[in-house]
Structure 1
Amino acid sequence: MTATSHPNEPDKRSSGKVIGRVVWVSFKILIIPVLCVVALIVGLAIGYGVLGDRPMSEVFDSSTWKHMYDLVFAEGG
């Protein structure tokens, strides 16, 4: 009995499988950073809105972050 595969033939993959594999690998690489950003946004909204008893919409206001920056880095005197 002889083997059915020929060792000299190149591995032929359809372009659909290659594109699918590239998409899947890209998805696996990007899912962790995306989930981290989502967790950050949800944590900010819960911490500022629920624990801080402030409107959640203020989390996304740049003046809120400028005020916090000024509080942290203000010169004491």
Structure 2
Amino acid sequence: MSTNQLEKVAEKPSRKLLKDKKQKSVEKESQATDKQTRKQQKEKRKAAKRENKRPRRRIFPIWLRIILLIIFAAAALVAGLMVGYGIMGDGNPTDILKTETWQHIIDIVFKEA
């Protein structure tokens, strides 16, 4: 082969290269359609999941939770007062529940000069 013929062969794209380019373009198109179908499939799955979802049944309703929270907070306050007055203050822990004790505390706090 002459150099002239070699140059012509080099300039011509080979059939394999053309085939590869076509295959790549077909793959890109199929990927684009796959993405659309994947999105659609995902949306269908989500819709089906929403339809099949059972309503959540709570063991403790919210109003009961609030009432229990208030009760537990009050119990913690009373327990803290009893520990503070009985152990730290060297008094009888049940004395904190009497009104005379609270009246005495209020008199000390608002003592007139």
Q: Does 1:28 align with 2:62?
A: no
User: Within 1, Cα distance between the matches of 2:94 and 2:73?
Assistant: 20
Percent of counterpart pairs with the same letter? 32
What TM-score, normalized to structure 1? 0.64
User: Within 1, Cα distance between the matches of 2:93 and 2:66?
Assistant: 31
Higher relative contact order (CA 8 A, sep 6+): 1
Shift of 1:25: 2.2
Please point out which of 60, 63, 69 is paired with 2:97. 60
Q: Which runs of 5+ in 1 are unaligned?
A: 1-19
Q: Which has the larger radius of gyration?
A: 2
Question: Mean alpha-carbon deviation: is it higher for 42-51 or for 23-32?
Answer: 23-32
1:15-57, CA deviations, whole angstroms, 9 ceiling, x for partnerless residues?
xxxxx86x62221121221111011100000000011111112
Q: Which runs of 5+ in 2 are unaligned?
A: 1-56
State the number of aligned residues: 61
Runs of 4+ with >6 A deviation = none
RMSD of the alignment, in Å? 2.6
